Amino acid sequence: MGNSSNYNPNRLRNYAKISFIIIGLVWGAVIAFFATGSLFMMILRGSIPSGNFGNVFLTFSFVAGAFFGGSVGYFVYKKSKYSKLEHY
């Protein structure tokens, strides 16, 4: 099983926190990409043009979407049983 002196519940909590945040980052960016892309395509009645508008779309979806997704992942972690020391 390993050396029991290496067991550290705070390290396990940090791994759980980082996992929740990274999962939130990825899903937030993906959802923002498809949601803003479909919204822009409905508004423009066609494809998203290249140039500054396309760059703003990509920047928003992958930066702002990841930020909001990471925040949601952190709040989900704080409300979950994995943030409690009693779980470990």
Give the total number of structural domains in the chain. Answer: 1
pLDDT tens-digit map of 40-57:
888 888 887 888 888 888
Which residues are within 8 A (CB) of 16 and not within 5 positions of it... i.e. 6 or more apart? 77, 82, 83
Domain assignment present for residue 58? The answer is yes
Domain assignment present for residue 72? The answer is yes
- Burial zone of 59 (CB within 10 Å; 0-12 exposed, 13-18 middle, 19+ buried): exposed
pLDDT at 88 over 70: no
Which amino acid would we find at residue 59? T
pLDDT tens-digit map of 2-48:
565 676 778 888 888 999 999 999 999 999 999 988 888 888 888 87
Query: Of 27, 24, 31, whose CA–CA distance to 70 is shortest?
Result: 24
Query: Of 74, 65, 78, whose CA–CA distance to 26 is shortest?
Result: 65
Domain assignment present for residue 47? The answer is yes
> Which residues span the domain enclosing 65?
33-80
Query: What pLDDT is recorded for position 71?
Result: 95
